Structure 1
Amino acid sequence: MEARADAFVRSWVSGVKLGPEAYPESPVSVADLYATHLAIAKHPLVESELGGIGGYKIGAPGGAGEVAISAPLFKRFLVEAPGRGLSASFIGLCQIEPEIGVVMGADLPPRDRPYSVEDAWAAVDSVVLIIECCGQRSTPEAAEAVTSALGKYADTLSSGGIVLGPRLPAAQVGIEGVKCAVELFVNDEKVATGSGKAAPQGGPAESLAWVVNHLNSRPGGLYLKAGELVATGQMCNTKLIKPGDRVRAEYAQLGEVEMVVEP
């Protein structure tokens, strides 16, 4: 688990992709997967080279028999729109997903009862319209060789970077407001549609409540902290992207975020 985490973190830092001979063995259980993520989060190079932990992403609903899977995000790869400095080749860009992000305004530490959706939402400072740029630490050959879902999830759930768009007061948007529709455009051509209802548990606020209680239940003393970002799950996606493309996500009633795919 420590060796697995070290391999992924060093690839994150250097940008050098892991080939079939270097790609770590897959976790043997969900517990082993999350132990790997914890070892990644605590790796010294994460703080010194990647800016530390900036929050968490949520995805893969139903993956490995779980409600969803969570993984840490690194501050270095949380960038403002239009995404300057977020290199597609460096992060191994493989997919783009519009999502609802939330920035926490208060800590949500473990307590003697679970946090409800309303409890979790009350701790949110702002809603952020985001585009997640999914990435890989593997070469195409290594990615093809990884047949285990846990093996794919171990790579921080294919995180890459987050492009941050407009921020809105959470109290103004509300729990139902983040279930809005979204349209995704590449070079002004509509390529996908979706809504916040696609997030795990049926909506971004519900997804947030899940990860709050999930983190609190895991070993390692994890919990959401004020200032951290949560990417609550894809609303739709596209793989039809290349350097130079302009990507725009339009969120009904909330606004839009646009990025340019850098080489």
Structure 2
Amino acid sequence: MDRIAAIADAFIAARAAGTALDAFPLSQPETLDEAYRIQDREVDEIGAALPGWKIAGVRPDLRAALGAERVAGPITRLVDARRADGAVEVPVVAGGFAAAEAEFVLLLGRDLPPRAEGYAAEDLAAAVAAVHIGAEIAGSPLATLNDLGPTAVVSDHGNNAAIVIGPAIGDWRARPLESLTSRVAIDGATIGEGDAARVAGGPLAAFAFLVANLARRGRGLRAGDWISTGATTGVHVITPGSVATFDFGAAGAFEVRIVAQPRGA
């Protein structure tokens, strides 16, 4: 087995078993190209069950060296909070990394196969069937993954444990980004506030990045895919037993309870 496959398989196995990792498997990739090769093996393992993709920003001080302002990863679990009676549960690996992020999530209404010439901005906007309030629960079996930086994050499923979907925003095309507000509280204490303008260029700019990123990897998007466009209030570390509340004002709110993933599950 080559190194790329060994790293991917180590993360796949740890996630499946709910077992924390003590260190990055073998050695961390130095480039995003290599990290995406690891991720592509993980995505192929998910296969047709892949519900969509998440996007995250790269710290400004790392962008020049890595040649990227954003990174992408697969959604490993989709949780629907729209009809929940109380908090929905998201499992994370005990002893690993977990964080809560308020995000805006796009639902695609048409296929976007990869093509060399790309897509015009208006075509991408037209492909969005709906925008929902949502959250990413970031998660990895490696507690230090986020500290190790973007190549580590990309290498482990984009550091995703789940995307949680809330209600759709009915008039999103007509609203200024600053009016799409978000607030995160953990165990009742507010720890972050923001809006859709906190995503560089807005959610549609994040979406355009994803389409180009996937095309370079020979991948496209399908009608029905969900796209989580990036944190609007920051990345807030959370642990099993805590409850995160995501409040988007008039657009709605929901709660997520973080639980420890059973070993061997």
TM-score of the two chains, using structure 1 as the length reference: 0.82
Question: How many Å apart are 1:205 and its aligned residue?
Answer: 1.1
Contact 1:183 1:192 in 2 (8 A): yes
Contact 1:91 1:160 in 2 (8 A): no
| Alignment equivalent of 1:102, drawn from 98, 102, 106 | 106
- Cα displacement string for residues 9-32 of structure 1 (whole angstroms, at most 9, x for unaligned residues): 112211112223x72421232211
Question: How many Å apart are 1:190 and its aligned residue?
Answer: 1.8
Distance 1:161 1:252 in 2: 22
| Alignment equivalent of 2:19, drawn from 6, 16, 21 | 16
Question: How many Å apart are 1:90 and its aligned residue?
Answer: 5.5
Asked if 1:202 is matched to 2:201, the reply is yes
| Alignment equivalent of 1:59, drawn from 56, 59, 74 | 56
Question: How many Å apart are 1:176 and its aligned residue?
Answer: 4.7
Asked if 1:6 is matched to 2:9, the reply is yes
- Quick one: which amino acid aligns to residue 181 of structure 2? A
| Alignment equivalent of 1:234, drawn from 225, 231, 234 | 231
Does the residue aligned with 1:207 lie in a helix, a strand or coil? helix
Unaligned runs of 5+ in 1: none
Distance 1:26 1:129 in 2: 34
- Quick one: which amino acid aligns to residue 38 of structure 1? D
Unaligned runs of 5+ in 2: 261-265
Asked if 1:259 is matched to 2:256, the reply is yes
Distance 2:145 2:32 in 1: 21
Question: How many Å apart are 1:2 and its aligned residue?
Answer: 1.3
**1:24 to 1:146, Cα distance in 2 relative to 1, 3 A:** farther
Contact 1:97 1:238 in 2 (8 A): yes
- Cα displacement string for residues 32-82 of structure 1 (whole angstroms, at most 9, x for unaligned residues): 111111111112xx34xxx721111111335423021111112xx211226
Question: How many Å apart are 1:228 and its aligned residue?
Answer: 0.9
Asked if 1:42 is matched to 2:44, the reply is yes
Distance 1:242 1:24 in 2: 27
TM-score of the two chains, using structure 2 as the length reference: 0.82
Across the two proteins, how many residue pairs are aligned to each other?
247
Distance 1:91 1:178 in 2: 37
Does the residue aligned with 1:215 lie in a helix, a strand or coil? helix
Please say which of residues 77-86 and 160-169 is displaced more in the overlay.
77-86
1:109-188 maps to which residues of 2 (within 5 A)?
109-138=113-142, 140=143, 143=144, 147=148, 149-169=150-170, 172-174=171-173, 176-179=175-178, 180-188=180-188
- Quick one: which amino acid aligns to residue 56 of structure 2? G
Distance 2:37 2:94 in 1: 25
Distance 1:253 1:187 in 2: 22
